Chains A and B, each alone.
Chain A
Amino acid sequence: MDQLSNLITGFGDVFTLNNLLFVLVGALLGTAVGVLPGLGSAMAVALLLPLTASLNPLGALAMFAGVYFGGLFGDSIAGILMNTPGNSTAIASSLEGHRMARSGRAPQALATAAIGAFLGGILATVLVVFFAPAMADAATRFGPAEFFALAVFAFVAISTVVSDSAVRGLAGLAIGLAIAMVGIDQPTGTERLTFGVRTLFDGIDIVVITVALLALGEVIYQASRIGRPDEAQLLSSGGRPFLSRGEFRQALPAWLRGTGFGVPFGVIPAGGAEVPTFLSYGAERTLARRRKDSQFGKGAIEGVAGPEAAGNATAGTAMGALLALGLPTSATAAVLLIAFRQYGMQPGPLLFERNGEIVWALLASLFIAMVVLLILNLPMAPLWANLLKVPKAYLYAGIALLAAFGVYVAASSVTDLLIMLALGLLGFVMRRYDVPIAPVLIAVILGPLAEYSLRDAMVNSGNDPMVLISSPITIVLYTVLIAGVVWAVIRRRRTVSADF
């Protein structure tokens, strides 16, 4: 078992005071941004990127991974206690979770959520440890046609299968692809879309793009919503904080089923954990109806357990897809990929070979982060809810300050700040009219890969388009993609026709 010995070496690398401190900071920060509505782990990592450029890569990456998982631990706390989910990934678990809290079972709901997040994350990470190296190995045989298929798969999946309107997803995708083309064209050295502006020759810095869209866009969006009534009310969460044996037995199958929903979605570029959490919620509801004795609708423990496990399982396998294939499947994974690049590493098939030490140490740090997060969340969930008392005005003022600072110090460039403002306004408009941000980020990251592999494939084959669908891997990818699109269309049609 190569993997086990590698992982143990990884644990050895992480177990320094310095690195453990980074894991802890990441877990704390992640839980905090998870609790706070509007803030997410993608935004937190984006803000940290320019500030951590000079840190040691392992510590910084371990911290970012802690933020990623921490966000998924924390997001249900506010949802359960106040019915204001900290993130869209917690909407599903908040439905039954808040009902549990209203009927005086808040501590049980919080514990179910924390244990579910822990189980889902651990199980998925174990799968990654065993299968990611094999996946990376298979991917080393990828040629231009396969990489092009992978990128197209990601583009279509993120923009059409998942977002509620395919057109909106494609809008984000088109904007991202255009942004990615600015700069010198690598194969030919041609200036593209720079219009003679010297600072654009290297392209628009991807850190500027992420900070602008995720942080500044959110600040402006929050400003636009000032004056809305804020009726959320914090429910008390005192009482026995642990699950009884009966509750545990009720939740366990739901945790496992939720993990089952989450695991495949980490590898599909479906924009994160939202879809699997809802699928898991739907499955639990159907099962409960069949049993007829369930508390569904009144605060059923399975309705919390399933979606929470699904969310973190998605994050776990998303790390696998990121490390082994270089395929970011959500906004946060996209920002993590940028973090790797910042330290001169390229996630993908060769990462395990070239930077094996860091990868295994990072995987080890995920296990540590999960344990830290369980400890931070299980008994202390009510304490975290106090974060919601931080005045929004100062919170977002601080975010704006950090965003502006980070973007400036990355290159000491005022032009970057102007680009940030323009893209921040774009991010605001997109949020206001429900155009998803994740397709922009995926397009910015995978756009160049798609373009260069398409051009390589065409040049190598003398412009024969059939080369794009001639290998088994490409055929499988396109088949899965078409099946996914058909499924999404049928699902949408069914819900529409149900009321007529």
Chain B
Amino acid sequence: MTGDSGTATPSASPRRDYGELIIPAVLVLVGTVVIAGIVTMDEAGDGGLFGAKAFPWIVAGLCYVVAILMAVSVFRPTPRPQSADPGDEADLILDHGHAPAEASNWRSVVIVVGGVLLFILILEPIGWLISGTLLFAIVAVGLGARNHIASVLGGLGIASVIQLAFSGLLGIYIPPGILG
């Protein structure tokens, strides 16, 4: 994900990180969805100049403008300025704290996101206790827990406590699923 470094000055090398383009991409997507929403909008009555559609237009415009500005800054990164007071971390953090993103552990991300997705899919059919236990165990494994049995038992413990406290004491509905 981390891009190539385009320049030679080692002290203040502006690194191009094309992965960063995902933010402008999200903005373009949001702006487009907003415009799609405006076009398909069934406005009740005549809203006048400032009806239900005016503000969405402003926001959509803002999305596109910011997306363009951000994309430009990804392709033409400004050199990272150095502190006026070398060796003092405070200036560095306050004035240009934006450090280039480092490589991500995508395997862990996929495991965690997959765990949440699985939880969403099985929560109502299978029930809270099992799906909650699995969610805890999968996220723990994704975050580097090595002892799988401890992860499952820990998940079961916390899921049971939540079930007892909220369903038992407060009477909040929790999907029982196949155990109910």
Interface residues of A (CB under 8 A from B): 51, 54, 91-92, 95, 164-165, 167-168, 170-171, 173-175, 177-178, 181, 185, 187-195, 216, 219-220, 222-228, 275, 278, 281-282, 285, 391-394, 396-398, 400-402, 404-405, 408-409, 412, 414, 417-418, 421, 424-426, 428-430, 432-435, 451, 454-455, 458-459, 463, 491-492, 495-496, 498-499
Contacts and interface: CB of A to CB of B under 8 A. Distances in A.
A428 B110 CA distance: 12
A458 B94 contact: no
A164 B105 CA distance: 26
A223 B84 contact: no
Given A226-B108, A282-B90, A397-B154, A181 B42 contact: no
Nearest to A415: B120
A397 B137 contact: yes
Interface of B is mostly: helix
B97 interface: yes
Interface string B121-134: 00110001000100
A238 B122 CA distance: 50
A455 B50 contact: yes
Contact of B116 (A404, A451, A498): A404
Given A188-B47, A400-B112, A224 B104 contact: yes
B45 interface: yes
Closest 4 CB pairs of A and B: A393-B145, A498-B84, A397-B140, A193-B37
A397 B119 CA distance: 13
B145 A397 contact: yes
B124 to A, nearest CB: 6
B123 A397 contact: no
Nearest to A435: B23
Nearest to A178: B30
A495 B62 contact: no
B42 A191 contact: yes
Contact of A421 (B94, B106, B117): B117
Contacts, number: 247
Nearest to B163: A405
A421 B120 CA distance: 9
Contact of B135 (A188, A391, A401): A401
B14 interface: no
Given A193-B33, A285-B90, 6 more contacts: A92-B90, A170-B66, A190-B44, A224-B104, A401-B162, A405-B132
B41 interface: yes
Interface in B2-59: 12, 17, 19-20, 22-23, 26-27, 30-31, 33-34, 36-37, 40-45, 47-52, 54-56, 59
B52 A185 contact: yes
B112 A192 contact: no
Given A92-B90, A181-B34, A188-B44, A167 B154 contact: no
Contact of B62 (A170, A194, A451): A170
Contact of A178 (B47, B63, B154, B166): B63
B30 A174 contact: yes
Interface of A is mostly: helix
Interface in B69-111: 69-70, 73, 81-84, 88-91, 93-99, 101-102, 104-106, 108-109, 111
B125 to A, nearest CB: 10
Contact of A190 (B19, B52, B66, B136): B52
B84 A91 contact: no
A164 B99 CA distance: 11
Contact of A192 (B56, B82, B119, B137): B56
A293 to B, nearest CB: 19
A397 B139 contact: yes
Contact of A394 (B42, B82, B98, B154): B154
A188 B42 CA distance: 11
A224 B41 contact: no
A171 B109 contact: no
B170 interface: yes
A195 B40 contact: yes
9 contacts: A51-B166, A174-B66, A181-B59, A193-B34, A195-B36, A393-B143, A400-B136, A404-B119, A458-B49
Contacts of A454: 50, 55
B27 A495 contact: no
A214 to B, nearest CB: 15
Contacts of A188: 43-45, 47, 51-52
A421 B113 contact: yes
Contacts of A426: 26
Contacts of A91: 93
Contacts of A165: 73, 98
A281 B92 CA distance: 13
Contacts of A458: 48-50
Nearest to B142: A223
